[in-house]
Structure 1
Amino acid sequence: MNVRLEGITKSFFGVTVLRGVDLDLRAGEVHALVGENGAGKSTLLKVLAGVHRPDSGRVVLERGEVSFTGPRDAQAAGISMIHQELDLLDHRSVAENVFLGREPVRRGRVDRRAMEAGTRRLLDELGVGTVDPTTPVARLSVAQRQAVEIVKALSADARVLGMDEPTAALADHEVELLYRLVARLRERGVAILYVSHRMREVFDLSQRITVLKDGALVATSATRDITSDHLVRLMVGRPLEARYPERGGEPGDVRLALRGAGNGRVRDLTFDVRAGEVVGLAGLQGSGRSATARAIWGVEPFTAGSAAVDGVPVRVDRPRTAVGAGIGYVTEDRKGEGLALRQSVKDNLLLVRRAALRGAAARRSADLGELLRSVAVTARGPDQEVRYLSGGNQQKVVLGKWLAVEPRVLIVDEPTRGVDVGAKQAVHRLLRDLANRGVAILMISSELPELIGMSDRVLVMHGGTVVGELPAGASEEAVMRLATGHGAGGAA
């Protein structure tokens, strides 16, 4: 099915988010939608999916103009959406999620056999037959959950599919499954509107690309006719400087030292992070990267081995103890764990200082004006609620609250997940600036180019422990050999 969006304009609270945007979707084609955070991409997707009604403009299907009063109208017309935050019920089975609200009924009761058979057929068609329709969703990987979302849409006879950052929560090795699913959808003639900040995906998957900036259409181009550099210039309105900041000089003294540290999820962790360096922590999903971060931070404390900060032994049994020891932590889940979304930019920036520091330590912290300048948050003012900021600006606030307490060690887990290329560069600069000021940074990222480009050296995890160390500039292949258990440490 082909779809046209014509002259779409939408405002919220007097702020214009979309300005007369034109876009068309074609059956069997992936149309990528790109732009910085706040460009209007998600709003345009939601107009297409019936979540928002445009203030002006129209949506035209093959049978003519339509006016959706809600997502159900759009689904009835063959349009479905897969959101960045997956909308599944963890403790129900795959089949129950796929047919939620549309359960087949036989003799007055839900026909589970028909529901499971229909789910099995769609899973097989999409090449994910290894997923059992009776399995609770909570047991699935994130990539498998994405597959269930797609099956759910197809079970409702979706012929147009909007995908909003579908790989934001996926590790590199899981993206391959999504690539296969998108190829199968194209074969079925589904028109796909694909939003992503990952340039590699945009060029691998799409046939056409549309760029939005400040809610307005900048350009639409065949993918084969545009380069990544040109695309970035269209998105940000300027050429980006070198993709990653220049590495610092020789690192200083050991800031964080682990010796044989472990708990039920990780074991025998022995490594150092020095003042002024960024140490990357690589590994596949389930390798223990985030478990290591959470253990250092005291959420799931170490039960074996030892830890020290600046040579002083510490026993971190909870986050407050970690802060007192000079350790900060940027979680991978900024909305769920990193921010108080209904509080202001100011309150979020000062959150850690107010909660955990007292007396002289609090007085040494940076003042609000200095913090705002340091993190360069784009907001109406310090009193604006954080939930109304773009993803990139929210992430700057998460980092900014740690600048306020000047940690000696900072752990960052997926620091640029779901942010645009311009905001990524700003986050990278912030991290490198912190390192240059003597902070020891332990950085986790599922994007290997980012991890390699930012790190002074890379530690690789497999099976809950560190299996090797690689120098700055190591190849992706060298990292993956260690991450999959097929290599030994050494230079790439």
Structure 2
Amino acid sequence: MSTPNTAPAAPGPLLRMRDIHKEFPGVRALDGVSLSVGHGTVHALMGENGAGKSTLMKVLSGVHPAGSYTGEVLVDGEPVRFADVTESERAGIAIIHQELALVPQLSVSENVLLGHEVSRFGVIDWGATHARARELLLRVGLDENPATPVSALSIGAQQMVEIAKALAKRVRLLILDEPTSALNEAESERLLGLLLELRAQGVACILISHKIGEVMSVSDEVTILRDGRTIETLAVERDARGVPSVDEDRIIRGMVGRDLDQRHPERTGRIGPELFEVRDWTVDHPTRAGRRVADGVGLTLRAGEIVGMAGLMGAGRTEFAMSLFGRSYGRYVRGGLYRDGRALPVGSVADAIASGVAYVPEDRKSLGLVLDDDIRSNTTLAGLRRVSTRGVIDPGLETVEARRMSEHMRVRSHGTSQTVRTLSGGNQQKVVLGKWMFTRPELLILDEPTRGIDVGAKYEIYLIVRRLAAEGACVLLISSELPELLGMCDRIYAMCEGRITGQVSGEEADQETLMKLMTRTGDQP
């Protein structure tokens, strides 16, 4: 790989942030935070949702301009005051947000070199542009045709395009916010390997992630934030076997301010009789003729039971869940949902809700919330009849009900009039859960409910799910995290290529058994 075009490393750290304070109306987001990052190091920034990590990075990258905060930022020992993102990029600082900033309709080349196109006499030289883009793509280990539209790439490949785009700006400090949250295991390993390669080339990285194992595998130092304050910075050393000197429990204790003796709450309710059954559920891909995404799926759920669904990426779990929820995905072929042996109408989302079915989607921001609306509107959106009189919403009743549900879900906010976009990821997820619990569901389908959420918020979500099951509801929990399924579920189904390949009780399940089922094709047992 080519060596990055960077200035020689100056003595001392590349970055210092000293005593950073940042306030929003009624909230102190950063309260004297300090951070130091060395040249050519991977520095992890960890903390619960709302701890101040993203706010601190927005200060550093110029999203929050100089003058909107107090404190000092130094690059190579020199004070800097960025007025916007462009100025921070000129200093060699680039940030890759969790929501990728690519233009799907443009080619890989156009995205990588957007604003830095190679031109001659004011006209873009497409040959040179594609050649430069290919050089950058190879540097991040991505063998793609530069003319390929970004929309045709996987999420993992798009992440690599984002990093190539940053390298085009001669980045010296790369900030990655939850870069592996939407990646499968192979893509995550590839990205983490790239961070180590960039470190070897002298590029420093700040890694924001809730995946403690990933952080420990690549980081040289870890800074922990809690409630807008710097708690501590830990140096990560490794023995001859590569085992880090800092363990997960140490990180968690710093993040939440206490030990989490149990990652998953104990069961408090009892499992009742069989309540719901899915029979021969079969769905085709919405646009690809002949491609079956759910093939004869059958499963049962008992009252008060948490049933897990395991599968590798592409197994068809989300497609099945969305299609079951009012046929909101794919082309329905056959099959039915039954309650106490009686077929339920689920031909539309309205039918599904009326039948007592609720679905918390994997992508809470695009499919679960109206981000620019407040907590009140989002909470009551799926159950407007409960806050309406003669078809007209009663604002007072809506506020009361939204406040009650918000308190029940322990949403941390300034009140139900707060815009959902301004909440942390964990609190946004609680609003989504509250929206569907407001409909009083008997069957709640949860699709990756803790993705991108820290360990403290995860535990609170788990408590909510346990409480719902204890009240007699059925829960279908879809998760890519096998420890989550093993810790939460009474039974677990495995899916591969759109088919159920087996089930195992919670007591008998282990990761090896589930992995065998998740990679086994063939008929249902």
1:252-401 equivalent positions in 2, closer than 5 A: 252-264=272-284, 265-298=293-326, 299-300=328-329, 302-354=332-384, 367-368=401-402, 370-401=404-435
Q: Which runs of 5+ in 2 are unaligned?
A: 1-8, 238-244, 285-292
Which piece of structure 1 moves more, 232-241 or 434-443? 232-241
Structure 2 vs 1, CA of residues 229 and 314 (structure 1 numbering), >3 Å: closer, same or farther?
Answer: same
Aligned position for 1:27 = 39
In structure 2, C-alpha distance between the alignment counterparts of 1:271 and 1:393, rounded to whole Å:
31
How far 1:216 sits from its partner (Å)?
1.1
* Deviation of 1:254 (Å): 2.6
Residue 4 of structure 2 is matched in structure 1 by none
d(CA) in 1 for partners of 2:375, 2:140? 44
Q: Shift of the alpha carbon at 1:38?
A: 1.1
| Structure 2 CA distance for partners of 1:382 and 1:36, relative to 1, 3 Å | same
Counterparts of 1:419 and 1:89, CA distance in 2: 27
Alpha-carbon separation, structure 2, partners of 1:241 and 1:346? 35
2:63 pairs with 1:51 = yes
- Is the partner of 1:162 in helix, strand or coil? strand
Structure 2: how far apart are the matches of 1:316 and 1:77?
Answer: 55
* Pair 1:40 & 2:40 matched: no
Question: What is the SS of the residue equivalent to 2:431?
Answer: helix
1:303 is paired with a residue whose SS is strand
Q: TM-score, normalized by length of structure 2?
A: 0.87
Distance 1:122-1:477 versus aligned 2 partners, 3 A rule: farther
State the Cα distance separating 1:431 from its structure 2 match.
0.6
What residue in structure 2 maps to residue 212 of structure 1?
225
Pick from 76, 80, 98 the counterpart of residue 94 of structure 2. Answer: 80
Say if 1:14 and 1:357 are closer, same or farther in 2 by CA, change over 3 A: closer
State the alpha-carbon separation in 1 of the partners of residues 77 and 407 from structure 2.
52
Q: CA deviation at 1:489?
A: 8.6
Specify the code of the residue in structure 2 equivalent to 1:287: A
> Within the alignment, does 1:459 sit opposite 2:479 as a pair?
no
More deviation, 384-393/207-216: 384-393
- Partner Cα distance (1:63, 1:246) in 2: 51
Matches within 5 A, 1:428-443: 428-443=462-477
Code of the residue aligned with 1:325 in structure 2: it is: S
| Residue identity opposite 2:449 in structure 1 | P
Q: Which residue pairs with 2:518 in the alignment?
A: 483
Deviates more, 1:399-408 or 1:425-434: 399-408
Classify 1:291/1:231 alpha carbon distance in 2 versus 1 (closer, same or farther; 3 Å).
same
In structure 2, C-alpha distance between the alignment counterparts of 1:357 and 1:320, rounded to whole Å = 17
Question: Is the contact between residue 21 and residue 216 of structure 1 (CA under 8 Å) also seen in structure 2?
Answer: yes
User: What is the identity, as a one-letter code, of the residue corresponding to 1:351?
Assistant: L
1:140 aligns to 2:173 (yes or no):
no
Superposition misfits of 4+ residues, deviation over 6 angstroms: 356-360, 486-490
| 2:211 counterpart of 1:198 | yes
Aligned-residue offset at 1:470: 2.8
Alignment counterpart, residue 181 of structure 1, candidates 182, 188, 194 = 194
- Provide the C-alpha distance between the structure 2 equivalents of 1:75 and 1:369, rounded to a whole number of angstroms: 42
- Structure 1 position 245 matched with structure 2 position 273: no
Measured after TM superposition, the shift of residue 45 of structure 1 is 0.9
Cα shift readout 1:42-95 (whole Å, capped 9, x = no counterpart) = 011111112112522222112622111111111111110110001111121111
Give the CA deviation at 1:191: 0.6
Aligned residues: 487
Worse-matched range after superposition: 289-298 or 382-391: 382-391
Q: Which residue in the other structure is 2:30 paired with? A: 18
CA gap 1:259/1:10 in 2 versus in 1, 3 angstroms: same
Q: What TM-score do the two structures reach when normalised by structure 1? A: 0.93
Show the counterpart of 1:168: 181
- Give the deviation of 1:454 after TM superposition: 1.4
Task: After superposition, give the CA deviation of every residue in 1:274-331 in whole Å (9 maximum; x if it has no partner).
Answer: 2111111122222111101110112126321222133221242221110011100101
Q: CA deviation at 1:356?
A: 8.3
For 1:114-141, what per-residue CA distance to the aligned partner results, in whole angstroms no more than 9, with x for missing partners?
2222222222222222x33222111111
Whether the 8 Å CA contact 1:281–1:443 is kept in 2: the answer is: yes
Asked whether the equivalents of residues 496 and 521 of structure 2 are also in contact (C-alpha less than 8 Å), the reply is no
Structure 1 position 255, deviation (Å): 2.7
Q: 1:249 to 1:389 in 2, by over 3 A?
A: closer
Distance 2:405 2:83 in 1: 43
Residue range with higher mean Cα deviation, 85-94 or 469-478: 469-478
Give the letter aligned to residue 347 of structure 2: D
Q: Please, what is the CA RMSD of the aligned residues?
A: 2.5
Contact 1:171-1:447 at 8 Å conserved across structures: no
How far off is 1:189 after superposition?
Answer: 1.3
Aligned ranges 1:66-105 → 2 under 5 Å: 66-105=80-119
- Equivalent pair of 2:269/2:469 in contact (CA under 8 Å): no
| Aligned mates of 1:119, 1:133 — CA distance in 2 | 6
Paired residues of 2:277 and 2:298 also in contact (CA < 8 A) = yes
State the SS of the aligned residue for 1:23: strand
CA distance in 2, matches of 1:328, 1:378: 23
Shift in CA distance, 86/355, structure 1 to aligned 2, threshold 3 Å:
farther
The separation in 1 between residues aligned to 2:382 and 2:480, in whole angstroms, is 27
Structure 1 match to 2:3: none
Contact 1:296 1:302 in 2 (8 A): no
Residue identity in the other structure for 2:49: N
1:332-361: CA deviations, max 9, x gaps?
12122212223332332222111589899x
| 1:401-436 deviations in Å (ceiling 9; x for gaps) | 222221110001111122221111000110111111
Does the CA contact (< 8 Å) of 2:279 and 2:297 recur in 1? yes
2:252 to 222, 232, 236: 232
Which one-letter code corresponds to 2:17 in the other structure?
L
The answer to whether the 8 A contact 1:244-1:453 is kept is yes
- Shifted more, 156-165 versus 134-143: the winner is 134-143
Range 244-253 or range 280-289, more displaced: 244-253
> How far is the alpha carbon of 1:391 from its aligned partner?
1.4
- Stretch moving more, 467-476 or 235-244: 467-476
In 2, the alpha carbon distance for the partners of 1:198 and 1:415 equals 15
The 2-side partners of 1:376 and 1:87 are apart by 32
1:245-266 deviation per Cα after TM superposition (whole angstroms, max 9, x unaligned): 2246663233331211111122
Q: Show the counterpart of 2:240.
A: none
Q: Is the 8 A contact 1:36 1:213 kept in 2?
A: yes
Amino acid in the other structure paired with 2:37: L
Change (3 A) 1:368 1:155: closer
Q: Name the residue aligned to 1:447.
A: 481
Residue 132 of structure 1 aligns with an amino acid whose one-letter code is N
